[in-house]
Amino acid sequence: MIYSNALSDMLRRPRRNRRTDAIRGMANETHLTVDHLIFPLFVLEGKGIRSEIKSLPGIFRFSPDELLREIESCMNLGLRSFILFPAVAESLKDQTATYSYHPENFYLHVAREIKKRFPECCLISDVAMDPYSSDGHDGLVRDGAIINDETLPILAQMSVAQAEAGFDMLGPSDMMDGRVGFMRRALDEAGHYNTGILAYTAKYASAFYGPFRDALDSAPKHGDKKTYQMNPANKREALIEAELDTLEGADMLMVKPALHYLDVIQTLKSASNLPIAAYHVSGECAMLRAACQNGWLDFNRAMPETLISLRRAGADVILTYFAKDYAEMQRS
């Protein structure tokens, strides 16, 4: 008797909205399509090279010819936004990253080629010194310190060279103060007012960039990046960075890493009307890949659940090494 009374009192039953696939579809709050994804790609000089990154299985460094093939296969899956990173030979690196804007730079050449073959793709480039720096730091190093203001003209020169090569958006990733405004002015003065800035707004000094630095051989030769990248313990500071990047002309704001910073994504989303991007970084992808390769997790379920969590937190755009896997999964 007591039991049946309790049942009739229960007017609300949230499970009704989970009962069938069609109903779950209507009640679904968050969507993820390939339009939300940016695929990071590594490029090195040479021909016919596809070299897998040991600490990030399934992700390769491509020579320009192979890269074009990879982009074509992504475009056929509907995946059309890419961020490129160059793996530069040690002999071409120097303290002021001059190779980054050298007219013979293979990376700028390949960007031109990509935009010629696939003008409809969105091609993005990082702007930071580290892949080209013999110190392995994102800024100019003097007496062991990273010099902010003298780094800015180098970033400006790199930005204009990349805009000329045809990149649609540039992603300053070095966390130097004032770089978004400095780059915006330099781009505008050179006539590149249509080149967008995807600002790495809240980029943390994280342990999760390991496989990326393996891919580019770009780890700092000394010290760490704590004087320019943010302290993982801080969230209010992300709002200061967001305010400055917005005032300086950023077109989108990024949080990086992503999974370990879902609260920061949510905070920026509610504080800003600009699109918010989340960088699901190499170490975060590697963790999941390793668990799946061990048979501990099911990739086809854990991967989309991971990406939807970033959308749910407020990311409009997700940079992830799983972008192609997701596109393939959507197709099948």
Minimum distance from CB of 97 to ligand PBG (Å)? 12
With respect to ligand PBG, which residue has the nearer C-beta, 123 or 128?
A: 128
Residues 145-174 close enough to bind ligand PBG by CB under 6 A: 173-174
User: Assign residue 50 a region: left if phi > 0, alpha if psi is -120 to 50, beta otherwise?
Assistant: beta
- Residue 195's alpha-carbon distances to 190, 205, 255, in angstroms, are 11, 28, 20
Minimum distance from CB of 26 to ligand PBG (Å)? 36
The DSSP annotation for 235-257 comes to SHHHHHHHHHHHHTT-SEEEEES
- Who contacts 137 (Cβ-Cβ below 8 Å, separation ≥6)? 129, 130, 146, 220, 221, 223, 225
Stretch that binds ligand PBG, among 28-36, 46-54, 142-150, 209-217 (CB under 6 A): 209-217
Q: Is 297 in the site for ligand PBG (CB under 6 A)?
A: no
- Who contacts 9 (Cβ-Cβ below 8 Å, separation ≥6)? none
With respect to ligand PBG, which residue has the nearer C-beta, 147 or 271?
A: 147
Q: Is 138 in the site for ligand PBG (CB under 6 A)?
A: yes
> Nearest CA to 97 among 126, 62, 124, 65?
126
- Site string (173-202) toward ligand PBG, x via CB under 6 A: xx----------------------------
With respect to ligand PBG, which residue has the nearer C-beta, 9 or 90?
A: 90
* Angle, vertex CA 104, rays to CA 164 and CA 60, nearest 5: 85
With respect to ligand PBG, which residue has the nearer C-beta, 203 or 269?
A: 203
> Nearest CA to 41 among 85, 79, 94?
85
Looking at 151, 282, 306, 320, which residue binds ligand PBG (CB under 6 A)?
Answer: 282
Stretch that binds ligand PBG, among 24-32, 70-78, 124-132, 189-197 (CB under 6 A): 124-132
Looking at 63, 101, 126, 186, which residue binds ligand PBG (CB under 6 A)?
Answer: 126
Strands 252-256 and 196-203: parallel
* Active-site amino acid positions: 203, 256
Q: DSSP 3-state assignment of 332?
A: coil
Minimum distance from CB of 137 to ligand PBG (Å)? 9
User: Assign residue 18 a region: left if phi > 0, alpha if psi is -120 to 50, beta otherwise?
Assistant: alpha
Binding residues for ligand PBG, per CB under 6 A? Answer: 126, 128, 130, 138, 173-174, 209, 212-213, 281-282
